[in-house]
Structure formats: structure tokens, C-alpha cells
């Protein structure tokens, strides 16, 4: 470890400069990775993320999120990842790909040295409620990196010029330290493109954004999620290193999800098979809500066990609502 990095750590500590501290810490971690000290690098990354010790986690300070020009509102929500991939029921393909990516991202430096391109820009697509946002957060959790969630509607300004500079600000932020950055509901950008009055302007914003993503050389992993693949034109796809499908769950997936969510819940011999087949065609989020709703009904009625009737009542409500 170079003296310069140590000095920078100490300086940042005294200046309470969280971002500078992270930058210096990150450099040290990368250096250790460069020396193939993966176990040490991973431990350092975890410590930086505040994982491992409850008392440390409680005081982890995260950098302030990037703000819009006036500094009025945050452009991203920056948080410690609360999920792991194990919490999720994912298709085999996604499960394998995400595990691969977690390993690969830790070894980016090796890829760099071998001249093999990193997969650093990922597009997640599929119907709402099938785990895109959750999986991005879970990947951050696997890596021990903070999760920066960018909701496109908080970036899109009524002044289109501002939209592009907001996006620039987020990417500048992602240049400072390692984050898993998710541009969520990414199609919000594409969607406004058909509005004739703003069409040309918005097209320019989309183009500018894609170029920003394309030329990004920072330390973060960039992800974008969309529910409406049809709204993105082919120029968009090509900018991403990987396009990952999050399909609706199969009945088998729904069964697994129900089983996991009911594992520690006392219930009255609920027929999980039957429930899963009745949920066919609905997203994972619907199955999750069903369990919460049934548990809520039981609790409020003072029943110690969730009953089949609780599930029937909850089922009707879940079915009736749009997903
Ligand atoms: N594949 C999944 N496995 C387990 N839970 C899921 C899955 N997909 C969604 N959920 C649950 O549904 C909710 C919404 O999921 P989210 O990740 O926001 O979906 P999306 O981003 O695809 O719309 C989350 O609270 C999550 O717990
Ligand atoms: Mg989402």
C-alpha cells in the first residue's frame, strides 16, 4: 500500500470527506485485487460496506447522493443493499448469470490485464414485479458495494437540457467510487420520445445518455431496467454488454416463492400447490403480496395461524388488482 493512499485515508478521515475516504479505500482494495489477494480484497470491501459487524453496519456512512443543479432533490437513493440473491426466486439462467457476474466483477482487473472487455453495462427487462430492482440490489449485496437507485422520473426535468445534465451528474458520481447503479424504469426516457412537441429534444437526451453510458470508464457497475422493451429502439440494446430477461414466474417458481415466504409462518395446512397454480400468470410480487395480505388478515383477526380462508380472501384482492 502506497504512503500516498494512507495519507489520503487519514486526511479524508479528518476532513470527514466520506467520498474521498471511499476513493482511497477503493484504490487500496483494487491494488490488493491486482496482487491476487482476493480474500483480503473481499474482506476490505465488506468492511467498507459495513457488513459483518452489526455495530459497524449501524454507523456506516454513505456518500450524499448526487443532487440536481439547485441542490433541491436527490437524483439517486444511495443505500446499503438489503437483499441477497438467495432471497430471490430467479430463473436458472438469471441465477447463473448473476453469480457469474458477481465473480467476474470482483476480477475485473484480471480481465483488464488480459484485454478482455468487462461486462459493466447491463440491461434488465421484463414485466413489473419480477425482480429487476431486487436483483440489482442483491448483486450489490453480493459484491458488498452500495446500491444507488436512480428513478428516472427524479432525473427527468421539465427542462430537457437539465435532464441530460442530471444524468451526467449521476455518472460523475458513479465515477467517484464503486456502486451498483440502477437506472430504474429506464423506459421513462424512451417513452417521452413519442410526444411530438418534445420528440426531437428527448431523442437528443436519450442519445446523450447512451453516449455517457458508452464512454463510461469508471469503477461502478451500471444497470438499467425496463418494463417495456418495445419502447427502446435497437440503438439502445447495442450499448449494453448484456441484456437480461426477467420473465413471469413459472408455477414451479411460484411454489418455491410461496414455500420460502411461508417457511417460518404458522399456517393451517395451506395447499401451496393449488395456490401456486391459481397464481399462474401473475408476477412474483403478486405471490409475495398474497402472503403478506393473508398474514395481515390473520393477525388482525387474532388468529395464531394463517388459514385457507385468509388466503382465499387475500387471493381475490390480489387477482383483482392490476399488476
Ligand atoms: N424473483 C423474485 N423473487 C422473490 N421476490 C420477488 C421476485 N421478484 C419480485 N419479488 C418481490 O416483489 C417486489 C417487487 O419486485 P421488484 O424487484 O421491484 O420488481 P421489478 O423491478 O421487476 O418491477 C419485491 O418486494 C420483491 O420482494
Ligand atoms: Mg422495479
Write out the three cell numbers for 59: 454507523
Q: Would the CB of 284 count as within 6 Å of ligand 1?
A: yes
Atom 14 of ligand 1, nearest CA residue: 129
Q: What pLDDT sits at residue 193? A: 46
- Give the pTM: 0.82
Q: Would the CB of 131 count as within 6 Å of ligand 1?
A: yes
Dist. CA 118–CA 87, nearest whole Å: 27
Q: What pLDDT sits at residue 60? A: 57
Eight-state DSSP code of residue 144? T
Nearest atom in ligand 1 to the alpha carbon of residue 126 is: 22
Domain-by-domain residue ranges, the chain?
Answer: 3-59, 77-245, 251-320
* Residue 59 pLDDT level (bands cut at 50, 70, 90): very low
Dist. CA 53–CA 29, nearest whole Å: 19
- E strands along 2-90, which residues? 77-79
Q: What pLDDT sits at residue 48? A: 80
Residue recorded with cell 471511499: 22
Long-range contacts of 115-119 (CB under 8 A, 24+ apart): 117/241, 118/241, 119/241, 119/242
Atom 7 of ligand 1, nearest CA residue: 131
Domain 77-245 architecture:
3-Layer(aba) Sandwich (3.40)
**Of the segments 23-27, 35-39, 58-62, 94-98, which one has the largest average pLDDT value?**
94-98
Which strand (E) or helix (H) includes residue 183? strand 180-184
Q: Per-residue pLDDT averaged across 275-301, rounded?
A: 97
Q: What pLDDT sits at residue 259? A: 95
Q: Would the CB of 128 count as within 6 Å of ligand 1?
A: yes
Dist. CA 98–CA 114, nearest whole Å: 22
Q: Say how many Å lie between the CA of residue 174 and the centre of ligand 1.
A: 25
The half-sphere exposure of 38 on its side-chain side, counting CA atoms within 13 A, is 11
Nearest atom in ligand 1 to the alpha carbon of residue 90 is: 1
* Cα 298 versus chain centre, distance: 32
Dist. CA 121–CA 221, nearest whole Å: 7
CB 270 within 8 A of CB 279: no
Q: Say how many Å lie between the CA of residue 129 and the centre of ligand 1.
A: 5
Q: Would the CB of 88 count as within 6 Å of ligand 1?
A: yes
Q: Would the CB of 133 count as within 6 Å of ligand 1?
A: yes
Domain 251-320 architecture:
Orthogonal Bundle (1.10)
Dist. CA 216–CA 183, nearest whole Å: 14
CB 261 within 8 A of CB 232: no
Distant-in-sequence, close-in-space partners of 296: CB < 8 Å, separation ≥ 6:
none
Tell me which residue of 226, 224, 227, 230 sits closest to 209, measured CA to CA: 224
Residue recorded with cell 436483483: 135
Q: What pLDDT sits at residue 247? A: 94
Average pLDDT along the chain? 87
* Residue 133 pLDDT level (bands cut at 50, 70, 90): very high
Tell me which residue of 210, 32, 5, 203 sits closest to 121, measured CA to CA: 210
- E strands along 49-176, which residues? 77-79, 121-125, 147-151
Atom 9 of ligand 1, nearest CA residue: 131
Dist. CA 276–CA 70, nearest whole Å: 49
Amino acid at each position: 500500500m502506497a504512503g500516498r493512499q494512507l495519507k489520503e485515508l487519514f486526511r479524508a478521515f479528518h476532513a470527514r470527506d466520506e467520498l474521498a475516504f471511499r476513493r482511497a479505500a477503493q484504490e487500496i482494495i483494487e491494488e490488493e485485487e491486482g496482487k491476487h489477494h482476493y480474500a483480503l480484497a473481499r474482506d476490505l470491501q465488506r468492511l467498507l460496506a459495513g457488513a459483518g459487524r452489526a455495530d459497524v453496519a449501524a454507523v456506516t456512512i454513505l456518500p450524499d447522493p448526487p443532487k440536481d443543479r439547485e441542490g433541491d432533490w436527490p437524483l439517486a437513493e444511495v443505500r446499503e443493499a438489503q437483499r441477497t440473491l438467495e432471497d430471490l426466486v430467479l430463473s436458472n439462467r438469471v441465477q447463473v448469470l448473476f453469480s457469474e457476474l458477481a465473480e467476474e466483477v470482483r476480477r475485473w482487473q484480471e480481465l483488464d490485464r488480459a484485454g478482455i472487455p468487462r461486462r459493466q453495462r447491463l440491461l434488465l427487462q421484463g414485466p413489473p414485479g419480477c425482480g429487476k430492482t431486487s436483483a440489482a440490489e442483491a448483486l450489490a449485496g453480493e459484491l458488498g458495494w452500495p446500491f444507488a437507485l436512480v428513478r428516472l422520473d427524479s432525473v427527468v426535468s421539465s427542462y430537457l437540457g437539465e435532464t441530460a445534465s442530471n444524468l451526467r451528474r449521476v455518472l460523475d458520481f458513479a465515477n467517484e467510487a464503486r456502486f451498483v447503479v440502477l437506472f430504474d424504469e429506464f423506459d421513462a426516457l424512451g417513452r417521452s420520445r413519442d410526444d411530438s412537441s418534445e420528440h426531437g429534444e428527448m431523442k437528443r437526451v436519450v442519445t446523450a445518455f447512451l453516449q455517457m453510458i458508452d464512454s463510461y470508464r469508471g469503477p461502478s457497475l451500471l444497470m438499467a431496467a425496463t418494463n417495456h422493451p418495445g419502447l427502446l429502439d435497437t440503438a439502445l440494446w447495442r450499448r449494453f454488454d448484456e441484456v437480461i430477461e426477467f420473465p413471469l414466474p413459472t408455477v414451479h417458481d411460484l411454489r418455491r416463492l410461496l414455500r420460502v415466504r411461508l417457511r417460518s409462518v404458522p399456517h393451517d395446512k395451506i395447499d401451496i400447490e393449488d395456490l401456486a397454480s391459481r397464481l399462474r400468470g401473475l408476477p412474483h410480487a403478486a405471490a409475495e403480496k398474497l402472503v403478506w395480505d393473508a398474514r395481515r388478515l390473520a393477525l388482525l383477526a387474532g388468529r395464531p395461524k394463517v388459514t385457507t380462508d385468509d388466503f382465499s380472501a387475500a387471493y381475490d384482492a390480489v387477482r383483482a388488482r392490476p399488476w
